Amino acid sequence: MEHTTLRSILILLAVAVLIVAALKRVKLPAIIAYLATGFLVGPHVLGWIADSADTRSLAEFGVVFLLFTLGLEFSLPRLIVMRKAVFVLGGLQVLLTTAGTALAAWLLGAKAPVAIVIGGAFAMSSTAIVVKQLAEQNELNLQHGRLSIAVLLFQDLAVIPFLILIPGLAHGIGTEFAAELLWTFVKGALAVIVILAFGRWLLRPLFHQIATTRSAELFTLAVLLFTLAAAWSTAALGLSLALGAFLAGMMLAETEYRHQVEADIRPFRDILLGLFFVTVGMLLNPHTVLRHWWLLIVSVMALMLFKTVLVALLARLLGGDRATALRTGMALNQGGEFGFALLALGLAQAAIRAPLAEFGLAVIVLSMLVSPFCLRYSGVLAARLFPLDESAAEHDRLQHDIGRQQLHLENHVVIVGYGRVGQNVARFLEPEGFEFVALDLDPVRVKHAREAGDPVYYGDGTNPVVLKAAGVERARAVVITYFRIPVALRILEQVKKLRPDMPVLVRTRDDVDLDKLMQAGATEVIPETMESSLMVASHLLHLLGMPMGKILRKVQEVRGHRYSLLRSVFRGQDALPIDPSHAFREQLYTVTLTAGARAIGKSIGELNLKAAKVVVTALRREGVVGRQPPTDTVLKEDDVLVLWGTPEDLENGEQILLGGARSKAHRLKETA
């Protein structure tokens, strides 16, 4: 038995390596390779691996980690910020798609509760495909990207009732079904409340204590323990393992350890998810597909067309223009990972018959294959069908919002990307009297920066209309701070079209694409790894007694040769360490002193904000910004203070300034 299991694993790994390598060359996602692996070696094609209890257990265990990963991507603060789009657009999309596809399944002979689960499976879209493709196209923060993310957030939330419903279906449809189903939902609600309460009150301090040990092994073990314990607790209540794993991921996503959890769980996740999709591929029966090929093609076309039209109409009703509505619909028209999980769980629980599950899986697989092409060409199609929507409405709005306030500016600097580097550049420009305009696609960052008096605007730097509105044609220089090289290249292209002689500085993470950026027209490319190496080497040579003049000449020589000396290195992949100091979580935050605030009438020194580990970096009063205000400055109503610190310290600082009421910084801490 052991040798048989080992042989099966070796076969799976060998075939998976070959197919993944082959499909990577044609830039197809790894999910398709894993599905193809299972399809080929499974019982329906080559028959190298039989459908057994072991493979079904493996599939269910893979579902656990799939749902945990998807839960980890769930963002409660983002859900709150985008609540209108999430609950209205997302809620109607899931409800109407589930109803429509459930009706079709019922008409084809499925029983009502089973049809509802099938409808829910088809209502889900692929978070992995949508987010990856939108990110590659730099469209996550455009209107159709934000609407797509809102719908995906609601789908994450909506999967919970389906995960509760599936175990209840295993008892069959009888007179006691309603009572059994009600009891299942009661147990599910109880499990959700207990796990959420545990995550809210105990998880953060527990992981804080674990992180202080600075043991990566202990941290990983704790993540696995919490995930599997949550899965076991829901299974003990007669629910699915996947429900507990999804809730565990949701809870860990709300802590400051989310990124470390993702890094530590990635090896387990990638292997087990690969095996899960392999087992899903094993369920695909080519005889079923070939026997009903015409129905399969019609079903895929009907599903994608139905979801495109439905989402587009809903987005239009919410006030989006026609181009945005169409692009949102085309982004969400495929099936997704949740659909795989729901159908696989239904099959494992014997709630859904095998032929029906096989057909549903085939529909989802084909829709996911077509989906990247829909996303890639949705902009072209929308521009052809509705050219006035983007060229007139949105562009005029951008011209008005940015351009009306920047008409007087000349010889200023345009900063594209107002993250940590962009803000530091601005801080150097201000004291020297250089004016600047910054563009960023993070609405929260733009809001806080504008409250602090910085000339920052929400806008996409790859859009020539936005660049014109920011005064690029009259500017003295452009600074691009985005890490993503494709985005930087697109911005460079648009800047050079508007002003071929414009000096452009580009910040990158390393030197990999330095030559490509220089050829595209960058005046200077500043790789962070190269510059940090120069600084470390300069300090070291100074400590070793080398004269400063010689050090500066050496640094200039290295820069003059485009870092050729420093580019001759062996490359590797650095591990992500646990950072219990939270140094990289410090950030700027604005507080407005509204009527009744405790700080009104008191000086900054009296408030003793330093004791709360909060630094006042600026004070904005009546539109005038003062950097590093003196401690004897007496605060007035409507003053805007710019604070610096960690989210926890900012919460305390805001309470000192405003009083004991629940602060915005408390919500900021929850998202950190």
CATH of the domain at 595: 3.30.70.1450
Mean pLDDT of the chain: 76
**Same domain? 364 vs 239:** yes
Query: DSSP character for 603?
Result: B
Reported confidence tier of residue 217, pLDDT bands at 50, 70, 90: confident
Q: What average pLDDT does this structure show over 173-181?
A: 58
End residue of a domain, out of 488, 507, 522: 522
Length of the chain in terms of residues written: 672
Residue 310: per-residue pLDDT: 92
Strands 504-508, 524-527: pairing is parallel
**Residue appearing with tokens 């597909």:** 289
Cross-strand partners of 640: 592, 620
Do the domain assignments include residue 123? yes
Q: Is residue 500 part of a domain?
A: yes
Q: pLDDT confidence of 393, banded at 50, 70, 90?
A: very low
Same domain, 294 and 152: yes
Tens-place pLDDT, residues 484-513:
888 888 889 889 988 888 889 888 887 677
Q: What is the pLDDT of residue 40?
A: 85
If pLDDT is split at 50, 70 and 90, which confidence band does 179 have? low
**Residue 403 scores a pLDDT above 60:** no
pLDDT for res 408: 62
- 503 and 401 within one domain: yes
* 177 — pLDDT class (breaks 50, 70, 90): low
Buried b / exposed e along 463-492 (16+ C-beta atoms within 10 A): bbbbbbbbbbebbebbbbbbeebebbbbbb
Task: Give the pLDDT of residue 579.
Answer: 45
Q: What percent of the chain has pLDDT over 90?
A: 4
> pTM higher than 0.95 for the full model?
no
Tell me how far apart the alpha carbons of residues 253 and 74 are, in angstroms, rounded to a whole number.
7
Residue 349's pLDDT is: 66
Work out how many domains the chain is built from and give that number. 4
614 and 465 inside one domain: no
CATH number at residue 424: 3.40.50.720
In a domain, 532, yes or no: no
Judgement on whether residues 371 and 466 belong to the same structural domain of the protein:
no
| Same-domain status, 165 and 185 | yes
Q: What's the average model confidence in pLDDT over 519-545?
A: 82
Sign of CA dihedral 480, 482, 483, 489: negative
What residues make up the domain containing 451?
A: 392-522
Domain-ending residue, one of 385, 411, 436: 385
Rounded Cα gap, residues 655 and 664, in angstroms: 10
The whole-number average pLDDT for the span 220-247 is: 78
Please give the residue that has the higher pLDDT: either 304 or 173. Answer: 304
Whether residues 261 and 402 share a domain: the answer is no
pLDDT-based confidence at 388, cuts 50/70/90?
low
Angle of CA points 329, 335, 340, to nearest 5°: 160
For residues 330 and 374, is the Cβ–Cβ distance under 8 A? yes
Q: Return phi, psi of residue 458, to 5°.
A: -75, 120
Q: What is the mean pLDDT of residues 396-413?
A: 60
Are the CB atoms for 428 and 600 separated by under 8 Å? no
Query: Does 115 reside within a domain?
Result: yes
Residue 572 has pLDDT above 70, yes or no: no
User: Does the residue 270 lie in any domain?
Assistant: yes
Tell me if 441 sits within 8 A of 460, measured CB to CB: yes
What integer pLDDT is reported at residue 308 of this predicted model?
A: 92
Q: Does pLDDT of 255 surpass 90?
A: no
- Quick one: which of 53, 26, 460 has its CA closest to 468? 460
Q: Does residue 162 lie within any of the structural domains?
A: yes
Distance between CA atoms of 409 and 427, rounded to whole angstroms? 18
Task: State the burial class of residue 392 (Cβ atoms within 10 Å of its Cβ: 0-12, 13-18, 19+).
Answer: exposed
Whether the pLDDT of residue 598 is over 50: the answer is yes
306 shares a domain with 400: no
Residues 95 and 43 in one domain: no
User: Is pLDDT at 318 greater than 70 in this prediction?
Assistant: yes
pLDDT of residue 401: 53
Is residue 567 a part of any domain in this protein?
A: no
Bigger pLDDT: 178 vs 142: 142
Question: Could you tell me if 440 and 516 lie in one domain?
Answer: yes
415 falls in which pLDDT band (50, 70, 90)?
very high
Mean pLDDT check: name the lowest of 277-286, 564-573, 616-625.
564-573
Lowest mean pLDDT among 112-126, 338-352, 381-395, 638-652: 381-395
pLDDT interval class at 169 (50, 70, 90): low
> How far is 587 from 653, CA to CA, in rounded Å?
13
> Do 253 and 363 reside in the same domain of the chain?
yes
**Does residue 539 sit within a domain?**
no
What is the percent of the chain where pLDDT is above 70?
Answer: 78
Q: How confident is the model over 80-110, as pLDDT tens digits? A: 666 777 788 888 998 999 998 888 888 877 7
Domain shared by 339 and 195, yes or no: yes
pLDDT at position 571 is 39
Which of 522, 538, 573 is the C-terminal boundary of a domain? 522
Instruction: Band the pLDDT of 478: cuts 50, 70, 90.
Output: very high
